[in-house]
Amino acid sequence: MGGEYWAENPWGRGGELHIDGEWNRLDWNLPFVDDEIDNNLRLDRLSYAWGGTRFDPTRQEVGRFLVSGMPELGLIDGYAVSHRLPSGNLVGASIGGQPEPNPDQESGKDLQISAFYRWAYDPMERLTGAIAYQKTWHNGTQDRDVFIGRMDWMPVRGWQMHGNAWLDVYTVDDVGKTAGPELTRLYLTANKDWDGERGLRALYRFDQFPSLLRQEFQLPAPDTVERDHQHRVSLSGWQRLDGGQRLIARAGLWQDEDDMGGDGELGIEYQDLFQSDSRLGLALFDSQGEFTNMAGFRATYAHYTAVGNWDLLYEFARNAETGFPGNADTFYQHRLRGSLGWSPAAHWNLSVSAEEVLLDDSANTLLGVQFDWSF
What CA–CA distance (Å, rounded) separates 310 from 302?
6
Q: Which residues pair with 318 in a beta bridge?
A: 295, 332
User: Which one-letter amino acid corresponds to residue 40?
Assistant: N
What CA–CA distance (Å, rounded) separates 79 from 37?
36
Please report, in angstroms and rounded to a whole number, the separation of the first and last CA atoms in the chain: 22
Picking from 219, 230, 216, 222, the residue whose alpha carbon sits closest to that of residue 185 is 230
Strands (E), 195-329: 198-208, 229-240, 246-256, 260-271, 278-288, 292-304, 308-321
pLDDT in tens, 44-63: 999 999 999 988 999 999 99
What CA–CA distance (Å, rounded) separates 312 from 303?
9
Tell me if 301 sits within 8 A of 322, measured CB to CB. Answer: no
What CA–CA distance (Å, rounded) separates 372 from 354?
18
Residue 273: pLDDT band by 50, 70, 90 thresholds? confident
Q: What domains are there in the chain, each with its CATH number?
A: 241-375 (2.40.160)
pLDDT in tens, 185-244: 999 999 999 988 999 999 999 999 999 998 777 777 777 888 888 999 999 999 999 888
What CA–CA distance (Å, rounded) separates 228 from 255?
11
pLDDT in tens, 144-193: 999 999 999 999 888 999 999 999 999 998 888 999 999 999 999 999 99
Chain CA centroid to CA 168, Å: 21
DSSP state of 73: G
pLDDT in tens, 293-313: 999 999 999 999 888 999 999
Q: Write the CB contacts of 346 (distance below 8 Å, at least 6 apart in sequence).
A: none
What CA–CA distance (Å, rounded) separates 300 from 367?
19
Please compute the mean of the pLDDT values over residues 77-97 and round it to a whole number: 96
* CA contacts within 13 A on the Cβ side of 202: 5
What CA–CA distance (Å, rounded) separates 256 from 270?
38
Q: Record the pTM.
A: 0.86
Please compute the mean of the pLDDT values over residues 101-112 and round it to a whole number: 88
Cα-Cα-Cα-Cα torsion 104, 107, 113, 114, nearest 10 degrees, comes to 20
Give the three-state DSSP class for 98. Answer: coil
What CA–CA distance (Å, rounded) separates 182 from 74?
20
**Helix ranges, the chain (H):** 222-227
